[in-house]
Structures are given as C-alpha cells and as structure tokens.
Amino acid sequence: MLEKEVEHYFDWVVQRSGGRTYKFKSPSQRGVADRIACLPNGGTWFVELKAPHGRRSKLQGLFAEEMRRTQQNYACLWTKEQVDEWFTTTSLTPTPRSGCET
C-alpha cells in the first residue's frame, strides 16, 4: 500500500463523518504534519500519514515531540486500520470549544 492510499482513505473517513481535512505544507518549517483534520466533535488534529513500512524523518519526530510538549492533538498513522482506530477513538470524545465564536 502506498502513502497516498492511506492519505485518500484518511480524507474519506474524516469527510464521511462531516469533518474536514486540509493538506498542510509549511515552506518555513520542514517536518510538519501532512494533514490538519477538523472533526465534527470540535477536535483539531495534526496528522502525519505514512506507508505501512514508511519512516518518520528526524524533523517529523521533532515536530511530533513539539506537538506533545505543547499539548496539541497529534497522530502518526501507517495503515487504514490505524486510521479506523484513530477515528473511532477521537471522534467519540467531545472537545471543548474556545476562540472566536459567533
């Protein structure tokens, strides 16, 4: 299975539930997560997607550590099964909302 197949499946799972995914690239910061996922429960996640035998780069590992240190939602997923498990776990937990609400 290729990384793009895991990415397409991830996008489909999140969008099917009413959430949104955004492909994320940061020209000034290498190693950031592939996707930002906005879930219908209010949760926002930074998600790195890999092929089943893929590896995170050193910079991606540092980004993951930074996300944990700053208490952000972060996941690195390698398979469709991991996508399903992640979604089942995260989509059922309501996330407190904050920020600008109209």
In DSSP notation, 29-76 reads STT--SEEEE-TTS-EEEEEE--TT----HHHHHHHHHHHHTT--EEE
Checking if the pLDDT of 32 tops 80, the result is: yes
Q: Are 44 and 89 in contact (CB under 8 A)?
A: no
pLDDT digits (tens, 9 = 90+) for 36-82: 999 998 999 999 999 988 999 999 999 999 999 999 999 999 999 99
In the DSSP assignment, the letter for residue 79 is S
In terms of Cβ atoms closer than 10 Å to its own Cβ (0-12, 13-18, 19+), residue 43 is middle
Residue 100 lies in a domain: no
Considering its fold, how many domains does the chain have in total?
1
Its domain, for residue 12, covers 3-91
What CATH number has the domain bearing residue 45?
3.40.1350.10
- Does the structure show a pLDDT above 60 at 96? no
Residue 40 within any structural domain of the chain? yes
Report pTM. Answer: 0.85
Residue 102 has pLDDT above 50, yes or no: no
User: Higher-confidence residue: 100 or 9?
Assistant: 9
Domain-located, residue 99:
no
Residue 42 lies in a domain: yes
